[in-house]
């Protein structure tokens, strides 16, 4: 996973804001994971980066939340916690808020 994180960062210039067990949170301009995954000019995933799918080595979309949602979580909890775990376990996270 570390290699894919580095290659994704090199291809997009984006770094994760939270990493949890089997969940990585990236800042994005849109609600789809395709908004941050790097693609070649032909539309194929860049080699060595994260790819969406169900096969071995691929990743699935765990959910999407807004920055305002994350800010509300910090205000409510008032302590340090991992946003990746909250998004992964949030039943509304897949709704593309």
Q: What pLDDT was estimated at residue 94? A: 56
Q: What pLDDT was estimated at residue 93? A: 61
CB 17, CB 82: distance < 8 Å: no
Q: What pLDDT was estimated at residue 49? A: 92
With 0-12 / 13-18 / 19 or more C-beta atoms within 10 angstroms meaning exposed / middle / buried, residue 25 is: buried
Q: What pLDDT was estimated at residue 92? A: 65
Given a cut of 70, the residues of the chain with pLDDT beneath it are 91-97
Bridge partners (DSSP) of residue 80 are none
Pairing type for strands 23-25 and 18-20 reads: antiparallel
The model's pTM: 0.76
């Amino acid at each position: 996973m570390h290699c894919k994180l580095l290659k994704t960062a090199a291809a997009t210039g984006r770094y994760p804001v939270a990493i949890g067990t089997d969940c990585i949170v990236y800042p994005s301009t849109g609600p789809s994971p395709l908004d941050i995954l790097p693609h070649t000019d032909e539309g194929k995933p860049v080699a060595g980066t994260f790819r969406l799918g169900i096969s071995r080595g691929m990743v699935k979309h765990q959910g999407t939340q807004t920055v305002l949602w994350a800010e509300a979580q910090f205000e409510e909890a008032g302590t340090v916690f991992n946003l990746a775990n909250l998004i992964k376990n949030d039943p509304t996270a897949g709704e593309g808020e």
